[in-house]
A = this chain, B = another copy of it.
Amino acid sequence: MIRSQFLVERQDIDPVAFFREKGLRVTHQRVEIFREIAESREHPSAETIFEGVRRRMPSLSMDTVYRTLATLEELGLVMRLTHPRGGARYDSMAITHHHFICLECGEIMDCFAASGEAPLLEELTDRVSAVRSVHVEIRGLCSHCHHTSNHNLPLMGES
């Protein structure tokens, strides 16, 4: 049985209530790390999140950042993206959405749109039982990079 509906809007999550519901302790670290991501529109790295939260909480450790991000990802509150230039980026998942990543400057832009996974999964239905997430990653050149430098990338639709 395939779960193939889409996540709907899920904004204004109260992390305190959410952790409690899941039986997880409501630590300052969890609350602050979640808030740091939820308030960012920048797809921050673990390091960036660490630096941001550490201003308010100087004892914070990197291990807690990674551990908490993994927890938040399991809970479905946060999405981990892998950036072509190494390292992961994190994104609060208020709304299911997708990404465009510029191969030149690394900028990540949000793309909001439904994407039907059903047609992709048709041939796999006997091997796949449950869908957790669908993510579309588009790579290319942003307008800025396209106009400012010379590139030799093979693009889609060219021979």
Interface residues in chain A, defined as those with a beta carbon under 8 Å from any beta carbon in chain B: 3-7, 74-76, 82, 98, 100, 103, 109, 111-113, 115, 117, 119-124, 126-143, 145-147, 151, 153-158
B5 touches A156 (CB 8 A): yes
**With contacts A136-B136, A137-B137, A138-B133 known, is A123 near B119, CB below 8 A?**
no
What is the bound-complex CA distance between A43 and B111, given in angstroms? 27
Contacts of A124 in B (CB 8 A): 100, 109, 111
State whether A156 touches B133 (Cβ < 8 A): yes
Contact A132 B141 (CB under 8 A): yes
Q: Which of B6, B98, B127 contacts A156 (CB 8 A)?
A: B6
Given contacts A120-B138, A132-B139, contact A74 B111 (CB under 8 A): no
Distance between A135 CB and nearest chain B CB, rounded to angstroms? 5
Inter-subunit contact B120/A147 (CB<8 Å): no
Contact residue among B132, B138, B147, B157 (Cβ-Cβ distance under 8 Å from A140): B132
Of B3, B5, B111, B128, which one neighbours A143 at CB under 8 angstroms?
A: B128
Contact call A129/B117, Cβ cutoff below 8 A? no
Of B98, B109, B120, B139, the residue contacting A131 (CB under 8 A) is B139
